[in-house]
DNA sequence: CTCCTGATGTCAGCTTCTGACATCAGGTCT
DNA sequence: AGACCTGATGTCAGAAGCTGACATCAGGAG
């Protein structure tokens, strides 16, 4: 028989989420979270470096999944396609949790401090993907751009997925958004139909 | 004669930067910053909503400049070009301050809490640009993608500009990075020379 | 049986940030 | 002129987040 109840971290996460739902994020203290989990404030801070972090426990797993997929992509796949495919591969992580994801999204959106944390997690993910791409031989800037484009695709795909009345899966939206990105970044040679030529400086 | 020394906000910014340089960010308290500026801690928090914010006073001006330029771009310019041009237009804001920008960059890079703040400022900028693009008739997702691509271009261009031994201006680097982005997001029809066809699902 | 380890608790303290209220020079209104 | 208002600042108390140092103690290792 163990000395303490197991799964302290999970208990803290559940307690936190419950309290945030009931009272809101700011009106919940770390002491209250710990108490609900049967622990003390000090122990909370041993598991999570700060109050926000309790909502981002899954970030490391996501990062590993994505970077692994990028690293494992066939060498002849275009970098952006490899990254998009890697994000498609995360669909199973979320598939069964759409209601939870929606609730979490609303919570984060309502609190700038949580948005900041989300943004730095995504930035860390972008950095990790960048590194994977550099190992495939891409230059630093290009690797960074592709990684950040991938993050942008993921963000918009995720948002669409959350709101999708037709309940199509995340991978579907990733493909759709990738297609839009390609459309919108395509070089502006001949746009729509009849237009006077646009004055263009030669880039690069 | 005024009742108080003028330019309280500027004095606080200077005091903060000086102390951060001398002792480091974490070992500087808000009370010390205020004291150096001849004010009290309470007054500091009247000018800046938190300790980090004192380093981001220029963000609003940057946002106005960029969104203004996007809104004022000719209607026949491709959205991504309009956004890139808007970022090129920010060059004068930085041109004379390369050493300061470098120091600030190092400070932010060394402190995750400052990175978070920088990221959310960029996200706000992206949101503002997105709105400008929507007014030009772009759909929500496309506007968001273009804005975020623009931010990515700006970030990498800025980094290159900081380190550029040849001291070329920011606009030059924006154009170069834009070109790289276009290259790297181009649809992968016929890549380099001899390759076996890549299996591709039809997107969208 | 003893010792060590590791998860937890206890406690004191610093810093950030906020609300409530006080102060008071200078301009405004009559 | 004199009363009054305004707005920038100061003072004070306190909540909450977070940290370092040290104590506790069940269970495993030897």
Mean pLDDT of B137-155: 98
Q: Report the pLDDT value the prediction gives residue B190, as an integer from 0 to 100.
A: 54
pLDDT, tens only, A148-159: 999 999 999 999
Tell me the pLDDT of chain A averaged across its residues: 93
Nucleotides of D under 7 A from a protein CB: 7-13, 16-21, 26-27
Considering only the beta carbons, identify the residue of A77, A145, A187 that sits closest to B180.
A145
> What is the rounded distance in angstroms from the CA atom of residue B76 to the CA atom of residue B66?
18
Can you give the pLDDT at residue B103?
96
Q: What is the mean pLDDT of residues A151-176?
A: 98
Do the chains contact at B203 and A116, CB–CB below 8 Å?
Answer: no
Overall average pLDDT of the A123-130 stretch: 98
Q: For chain A, positions 90-109, list CB contacts with chain B under 8 A.
A: none
pLDDT band at B200, cuts 50/70/90? Answer: very low
Give residue A180's pLDDT: 98
Q: List the Cα angle B155/B160/B163 in 5-degree steps.
A: 130
Residue A2 Cα distances to A6, A41, A180, B96, B137, angstroms = 8, 21, 54, 64, 62
How far is CA B65 from each of CA A89, A109, B136, B151, rounded to the nearest angstrom? 39, 26, 17, 14
For tokens 């995720």, name the residue.
A158
Closest to B105 in 3D by CA, of B172, B163, B170: B163
B37, pLDDT greater than 60: yes
The 3-state DSSP class for residue A54 equals helix
Token output for A21: 């739902």
Q: What stretch of H or E contains B65?
A: helix B59-71
Q: What is the pLDDT of residues B104-140, one digit of tens each?
A: 999 999 999 999 999 999 999 999 999 999 999 999 9
Distance from the Cα of A23 to chain B's closest Cα (Å) equals 24
Residue with structure tokens 């004010």? Answer: B39
Handedness of CA B139, B140, B143, B145 (dihedral sign): negative
Residues 9-48 of A with CB under 8 A from B: none
Straight-line distance from CA B49 to C1' C27, in Å? Answer: 29
Q: What is the rounded distance in angstroms from the CA atom of residue B148 to the CA atom of residue B155?
A: 10
Residue with tokens 């975020």: B148
The pLDDT score that the predictor gives to residue A203 is 43
Percent of chain A with pLDDT over 90: 88
pLDDT surpasses 70 at A45: yes
Q: What's the pLDDT score for residue A190?
A: 55
pLDDT given for residue A198 in this prediction: 47
CA distance B37 to A114: 31
Helical residues (DSSP H) of chain A, grouped into ranges? 8-23, 30-36, 41-47, 59-72, 79-88, 91-95, 98-109, 112-135, 140-163, 170-185
Tokens 């506007």 belong to: B143
pLDDT tens across B164-190, in order? 999 999 999 999 999 999 999 998 875
pLDDT digits 0-9 by tens, B40-68:
999 999 999 999 999 999 999 999 999 99
Cβ atoms of A10 and A38 closer than 8 Å? no
Task: Share the mean pLDDT of chain B.
Answer: 93
Q: What is the pLDDT of residue B197?
A: 47
Alpha carbon distance A47, A63 (integer Å): 19
Contact assessment for residue A121 and residue B121, using Cβ atoms and an 8 Å cutoff = no
Give the CA B47 to C1' C20 distance in Å: 19
* Cα dihedral: A189, A191, A195, A199 (round 10): -40
* Å between CA of A56 and C1' of D27: 32
pLDDT at residue number B17: 98
pLDDT band at A195 (very low <50, low <70, confident <90, very high): very low
Contacts of A51 (CB under 8 A, 6+ apart): A30
Distance CA B185, CA B187 (A): 6
Q: If we measure between CA atoms, which residue out of B108, B132, B110, B131 comes closest to residue B120?
A: B108
pLDDT reported for residue A1: 57
Q: How far apart are CA B182 and CA B80, in angstroms?
A: 10
Only one residue has tokens 């942008």, namely A152
- Decide: CB of A42 under 7 A of nucleic strand D: yes
Q: Does the pLDDT value for residue A92 go beyond 90?
A: yes
- Cross-chain Cβ contact A80/B178 below 8 Å: no
* pLDDT at position A171 over 60: yes
Cα angle A72, A100, B119 (rounded to 5 degrees) comes to 65
> Is A200–B81 a contact, with Cβ atoms under 8 angstroms apart?
yes
Question: What confidence category does residue B1 fall into, taking pLDDT thresholds of 50, 70 and 90?
Answer: low
Residue B8 CB in 7 A reach of strand D: yes
Q: Which residues, at least 6 apart from A124, have a Cβ–Cβ distance to it below 8 Å?
A: A59, A63
Nearest nt by C1' to B40 Cα? D10
A81 to chain B, any CB pair closer than 8 A? The answer is yes
A31 CB contact with strand D at below 7 Å: yes
Query: What DSSP string describes A91-130?
Result: HHHHHTTHHHHHHHHHHHHT-HHHHHHHHHHHHHHHHHHH
Distance from CA of B120 to the nearest CA of A (A): 6
pLDDT of residue B56: 98
Q: What pLDDT sits at residue B189?
A: 72
Q: Is B146 on the interface with A (CB under 8 A)?
A: yes
User: Would you say B151 and B125 are in contact if contact means Cβ atoms under 8 Å apart?
Assistant: yes
Q: Please tell me the predicted confidence (pLDDT) of residue A138.
A: 97
Identify the pLDDT of residue A187: 87
CA–C1' A43–C10 (A): 12
């Amino acid at each position: 028989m163990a000395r303490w109840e197991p799964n302290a971290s999970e208990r803290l996460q559940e307690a936190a989420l419950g309290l945030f739902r009931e009272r809101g994020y700011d009106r919940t203290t770390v002491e209250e979270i710990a108490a609900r989990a049967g622990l003390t404030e000090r122990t909370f801070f041993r598991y999570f470096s700060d109050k926000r972090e309790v909502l981002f426990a899954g970030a490391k797993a996501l990062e590993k999944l994505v970077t692994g997929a990028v690293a494992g992509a066939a060498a002849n796949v275009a970098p952006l396609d490899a990254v998009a495919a890697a994000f498609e591969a995360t669909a199973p992580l979320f598939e069964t949790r759409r209601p939870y994801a929606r609730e979490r999204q609303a919570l984060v959106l309502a609190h700038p401090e949580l948005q900041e944390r989300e943004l730095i997690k995504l930035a860390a993910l972008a950095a990790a993907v960048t590194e994977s791409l550099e190992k495939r031989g891409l230059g630093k800037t290009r690797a960074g751009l592709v990684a950040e484009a991938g993050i942008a695709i993921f963000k918009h795909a995720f948002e669409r997925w959350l709101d999708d009345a037709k309940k199509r899966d995340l991978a579907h939206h990733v493909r759709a958004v990738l297609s839009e990105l390609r459309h919108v970044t395509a070089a502006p040679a001949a746009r729509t139909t009849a237009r006077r030529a646009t004055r263009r400086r030669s880039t690069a």
